[in-house]
A and B are shown apart, each in its own frame.
Chain A
Amino acid sequence: MKVHLLYENADYNPQMKLPFQAKAVRADMEIDTLLNTMAAGDDLLRQRIEPLLYQSLLSPAAIAYRQNVLRDCLINAFRALYTLALEGVENKESRRYVLFDFSPQQRLESAVIELEAFIPILQRLRMTAEALQPKVGSVGWQNLFAAIRTLVSREYLQDMKKLLQELHFSEGVLVKARLGIRLKAESYLVCRRAVAKPVSWVNRVRHWFQHEQKFRVLIDERDESGYQILRELKDDAVVKMANTVACSRDHVRNFFIALRDELAFYIGCLNLYECLQKKGVAISFPPMDHLCVQGFFCKNLYNVTLALRSDHPVQTNTVDADDERLLVITGANQGGKTTFLRSFGQAQLMMSCGMFVAAGNFQSHIGRVFTHFKREEDRGMQRGKLDEELSRLDVLLPLLQTGDFLLMNESFAATNERDGSAIASGVVDGLMAAGVQVLFVTHFYAFAAALFQKHAAGVLFLQAQRQDQGARTFQLEPGEPVTTAFGQDIYKNVFGKDALL
């Protein structure tokens, strides 16, 4: 009985590692803010969601599968199911017993009791499945509910009760063993005692005869060490049985863990969805039946973490880069360049793991997100900084594949404009030729201008705008790169009337 809400044909791996680029992406894309909202204070949710955020799904079908499951979640708010999963994981009987070093007999008994405690939870799980199945449309939910209804049927639970009753061994335990030349049973196997059946008189005589032939050892009531040995013998006898029952207990528990872990992602999405609803901002599911061949298209794309943090409406951008492999963003300082880079990266990441995105409309292609941002630390060491930037890019290169997105924010700004431009041109040429999608925020006019000369097609140039009075619109517009980053505007803003300009 597999949960399979995250992948149609594969299990979720809770030990999933964060990919190499995760650390940089987390910082550069402000993933922590996003995760905080999704986790809503629940560390477990956070741990389960984060790896999925960086682990892009590789096919549109896999993304669509999650999108559909998520749509059902947004409509039905399956929080009760998550609570039930938690209840299963934290079986109330398990806690009482974990503190002690148990003998096999005690382990057996405690595992049986724990399994018995699963029965009412499983019962409620089946009833929930019965109630919800008519309301869901996605393949993921249909399959899961159908499996629960079939495999945890009323009859199955009745049989389970009976079997667990037998495992209390209230009428003694029967084990078989091989005599073996060492005369030490290597392992005992608990057997089901044959139920005495009414028999013909011939068999009855035979049975009586066999009964007489039975060989008994009776431990004297005063033989204390004998009793101790008997206890140990019983422990030996049931050790394998105890392990089998414990494994079974773990199987049931693992099912609930899997349910909890896979639901965690959707509960996180639900948390985010409800927050964004309150802010009154739009979300959409990127259409998986229409992917861009290269590049992307977005309408009213906004920075989701900015939206979560701010009480005011956030700036949105509409960019049609459906056919471009390189996006060069220049223009006014504090004009929304980095914000746009983030909003795109976030949307691409969210789309790739099956989430909705923070945009009125978002279309892209399948590709992972890598970042190469200017680092603020170590301002003093100019030489060392360029080394550091280059080496950071150096380690990313082997990971990049065709279709991946590399978001570069003022890369190579550690050196002067001429050197930086030359490095950047070389890098960008190589990346484009390799089919990597580059979004490059830069204030190197020389670099942008050279690109503009060279690639009229295939490159989209965006400008951070300013209005005539110098106020920023935070709106990006296509156009030829301009020479100034409008630092004077900022200067003026800061100095106000005292400005000498």
Chain B
Amino acid sequence: MEFSSILFPVITRPVLPAQSAFFHDLNLNQIFAAALQGKEEYNLAEIFCTPLLLPEEVRYRQAVMQDLENDLLRSSIDSFAAAMHQSRQQEKEAAQCYDPYSMAAGHFVALTNYATAIRTLQSDLVRLAPESNGLQNFMVYLQNYIGSDNFVSICDEAAAIFQTFETTIYTLYIFGNEITIDAYHQELDLNQIVADFFARFAQGTTSVYKDSHFKDNRLNHIEVMIMEQLSRRFPHHFSRLQQFCARYQTFRDAVLVRFDREIQFYLAYLQCMVLGRKQGLHFCYPVISETNREISGEDGCDLALQLSLPEQKGVGNTFSWQGRERMMIVTGPNQGGKTTFARMVGQLMYLASLGLPVAARQAEFFLPDHIFTHFERQEAEVTQNGKLQDDIIRIHEILPQLTQKSFLIINEMFASTTLSDAVALGRLIMQAIPARDTFCIYVTFLEELATFNEKTISMVSEIAADQETRTYRLGRRVPDGCAYALSMAAKYHLTTSDILRRLRHESTSSV
């Protein structure tokens, strides 16, 4: 099979930017921003916005990623990318030169760096033997490219030219307004003479002075004049260089250029994984279920949250839908990690559908046709009534689009109305969704919904044994009312027994 892309086994459709509202709700855009940091030139955002639709596409990417988790291979790609970047820069700069000498030199350097980058990558790949189909096919392509007559003659000629220029030494004699150019006639190095002469005074330390300052790569008009004389002094060197550059005016291979960009998709996400692993996150390659619709994960973490809180250790949560279960109702105290949990499941599912590893010990997902989110909107101008109305309008828009392969995340819907209203509305929605057989997470403070029917799973955020600390861990159980409120009360000695005791004490003392 002819290699064409490291992102797709077969290119079946164009990559289209499909920015959705849920990127923001699930904080996926934070993850993407972290991934894309420093990789702006590759324009990778659209790849992150295009989920895969076929399990074999996911497996293609997962295999490539597994190869790239080898640090040696990854750093080899890094150097390849850096060299390609440098070469592009050099070509651009060369094109902006005014004189023929620096133009030719710049072009030559760009070309040789390109060739070296490719040869280095090829030998690295042979040595590191990647196992994925994607990289193996790419290796075959690379092998053929490097073996081609054209590439071989470029390299040979370039090496010869390089050798001549690097070994030629000349002298400048500057006196008054006159510069005399000549070949080098073994004149003695005066630096060495001076250094030797004064060495006897050295006291162990030697001062360090900077030898050179920044120099413009382009030649100024005096340097051009010097070059003209040098090209007269060494005419063969220069004519050979210029002929070579004219012959290979364009030299970049389209497939390799494409690879250089697309492989960055993996490296970009690896940046995030490295950061996450530093904070103790585990990453796994999710299993993609083809026939049944499985969703489960063990110790899943919100990667976006971890990236924004580098000091804290991540808390993993485990989840699964079993049998006929469809609706996961998440309840519990405020600030207990409910929203984070819901986001995390959505993130994991989406990242899995990009063919990427996810922050969990293990995970299994099906490829959703669409992820829908219904999060609270924070617009200041929406009145209380308007807010409720907005909630209802949005859920109304979503419901008809739901399919068996969709995934819906609802976060604190109807928070702006009265409790009884909210319960009633919640029940209505709960009845509407099962008709679509859609998997759903519903974060709510309405504990009444948690035991709705046999399709319902109840997840509750847990409180540590000391009754005070939040664990940000959620467990599958029936909500228990006010455990958290009790713990806060205990902290301030305001539990029933506390108050009784304190009041009794007060009353006895006041008597």
Interface residues of A (CB under 8 A from B): 1-2, 11, 115, 151, 159-160, 163, 166-167, 171-184, 186-194, 214-219, 221, 225-227, 229-230, 233-234, 236-237, 239-248, 250-252, 254-255, 257-258
B207 touches A250 (CB 8 A): yes
Q: Which of B187, B193, B201 contacts A1 (CB 8 A)?
A: B201
Q: Verify A226–B181 contact, CB threshold 8 A.
A: no
Whole-angstrom distance between the Cβ of A166 and the nearest chain B Cβ: 8
Is B292 in contact with chain A by the CB < 8 A criterion?
A: no
Interface string of B14-36 (1 = CB under 8 A from A): 00000000000000000000000
Contact A182 B177 (CB under 8 A): no
Chain B residues with Cβ under 8 A from A172's Cβ? 173-176
Cβ contact within 8 Å between A177 and B220? no
Say if the beta carbon of B141 comes within 8 Å of chain A.
Answer: no
Contacts A167-B194, A180-B166, A192-B187 known; list 9 others, CB within 8 Å. Answer: A172-B176, A176-B184, A188-B172, A191-B171, A191-B189, A221-B177, A229-B221, A230-B179, A244-B195
Assess the A178–B222 pair: CB atoms within 8 A: no
Binds A, one of B76-84, B230-238, B332-340, B435-443: B230-238
Residues of B within 8 A of A11 (CB): 203-204
Residues of A within 8 A of B194 (CB): 163, 167, 241, 244-245, 248
Q: Is B430 an interface residue (CB 8 A)?
A: no
Q: Which of B105, B181, B188, B213 contacts A215 (CB 8 A)?
A: B181
- For chain B, the count of residues having a C-beta within 8 Å of the partner chain is 68
In the assembled complex, the Cα of A182 lies from the Cα of B174 at a distance in Å of 22
CB interface residues, B 205-258, toward A, < 8 Å: 205-207, 209-213, 215, 217, 219-223, 225-227, 229-230, 232-234, 237
Q: Which B residues are CB-close (under 8 A) to A254?
A: 201-203, 205
Q: Chain B, 408-426, contact with A by CB distance < 8 Å: what is the 0/1 string?
A: 0000000000000000000
Shortest distance between the CB of A232 and any CB in chain B (Å): 8
With A and B bound together, what is the CA distance between A184 and B195 in angstroms?
26
What are 12 residue pairs bridging A and B, where the CB atoms are less than 8 Å apart in the complex?
A172-B173, A179-B169, A179-B170, A179-B230, A180-B166, A191-B190, A214-B182, A217-B226, A219-B177, A233-B174, A248-B194, A251-B201
Among candidates B166, B182, B209, residue contacting A181 with C-beta atoms closer than 8 Å: B166
B212 partner residues in chain A, CB cutoff 8 A: 186-187, 236, 239
* Bound-complex Cα distance A11 to B207 (A): 17
Say yes or no: B200 contacts A1, CB within 8 Å: yes
Whether A246 contacts B109 in the complex (CB less than 8 A), given A159-B197, A191-B190, A234-B174, comes out as no
Q: Which residues of B contact A151 (CB under 8 A)?
A: 200
The contact of B203 among A2, A115, A159, A216, by CB within 8 Å, is A2
CB distance from B120 to the nearest CB of A (A): 19
- What 1/0 flags go to B72-116 for Cβ under 8 Å of A? 000000000000000000000000000001100100110010000
Q: Is the CB of B174 within 8 A of A181?
A: no
Q: How far is the CA of A487 from the CA of B364 in the complex (A)?
A: 86
- Show the binding face of B for A, using Cβ within 8 Å: 101-102, 105, 108-109, 112, 161-162, 165-182, 184-185, 187-191, 193-195, 197-207, 209-213, 215, 217, 219-223, 225-227, 229-230, 232-234, 237
- A240–B212 Cα distance when bound, in Å, is 8
Q: Tell me the bound Cα distance from A447 to B24 in angstroms.
A: 76
The residue in chain A whose Cβ has the minimal distance to the Cβ of B105 is A183
A252 CA to B176 CA, complexed, in Å: 32
Closest residue of chain A to B163 (Cβ to Cβ) is A181
Please judge, given known A-B contacts A163-B197, A176-B169, A216-B179, whether A183 and B227 are in contact too, CB under 8 Å: yes
How many whole Å from B17's CB to the nearest CB in chain A? 41
CB pair A217–B179 under 8 Å, yes or no, is yes
Known contacts A1-B201, A189-B191, A179 near B168 by CB under 8 Å: yes
> Which residues does chain B contribute within 8 Å of A163, judged by CB atoms?
193-194, 197
Shortest distance from the beta carbon of A184 to any chain B beta carbon, whole Å: 6
Q: How far is the CB of A113 from chain B (nearest CB, A)?
A: 15
Do the beta carbons of B172 and A237 come within 8 Å of each other?
A: yes
Q: How far is the CA of A237 from the CA of B181 in the complex (A)?
A: 14
Chain B's nearest CB lies how many Å from the CB of A240? 5
Q: Is the CB of A247 within 8 A of B209?
A: yes
Min CB distance B82 to A, Å, is: 18
A175 nearest CB across to chain B (Å): 5
Closest chain A residue to B168, Cβ basis: A179
Q: How far is the CB of B164 from chain A (nearest CB, A)?
A: 8
A189 surroundings in chain B (CB, below 8 A): 189-191
Q: How far is the CB of A71 from chain B (nearest CB, A)?
A: 26
Task: Report A181 CB to chain B, min CB distance, Å.
Answer: 4
Q: Which residue of B is nearest A3, CB measured?
A: B203
B102 close to A216 (CB less than 8 A): no
Quick check: A230 and B174 within 8 Å, CB to CB? yes
Nearest opposing residue in chain B for A235, CB measure: B213
Give complex CA distance A255, B161 in Å. Answer: 49
Q: What CA separation (Å) do A174 and B185 show in the bound complex?
A: 11
Q: Are B170 and A251 in contact (CB under 8 A)?
A: no
Please give the distance in Å from B289's CB to the nearest CB on chain A. 57
Contact of A216 among B105, B187, B229 (CB under 8 A): B229
Chain A nearest Cβ from B187, distance in angstroms = 4
Q: Point out the residues of chain A lying under 8 angstroms from B221, CB to CB.
A: 225-226, 229
Given contacts A181-B105, A241-B190, contact A252 B198 (CB under 8 A): yes
Measured CB to CB, the closest approach of chain B to A172, in angstroms, equals: 3
Nearest-neighbor residue (CB-CB) of A251 within chain B: B201
Q: How far is the CB of A405 from chain B (nearest CB, A)?
A: 33
B165 touches A174 (CB 8 A): no
User: In whole angstroms, how far apart are the Cα atoms of A243 and B212 in the complex?
Assistant: 10
Contact B102 A190 (CB under 8 A): no
List 9 A-B pairs, minimum CB-CB distance, nearest first: A172-B175, A248-B198, A191-B187, A215-B229, A243-B209, A251-B201, A179-B168, A229-B222, A254-B203
For B190, what are the chain A residues with a Cβ–Cβ distance below 8 Å? 166-167, 189-192, 241
> Which of B168, B198, B213, B222 is the one whose CB lies under 8 Å from A251?
B198
Whole-angstrom CA separation of A117 from B333 in the bound complex: 82
Whole-angstrom distance between the Cβ of B451 and the nearest chain A Cβ: 59
Check B211–A243 contact: CB distance below 8 A. Answer: yes
| B184: nearest chain-A partner, CB-CB | A176
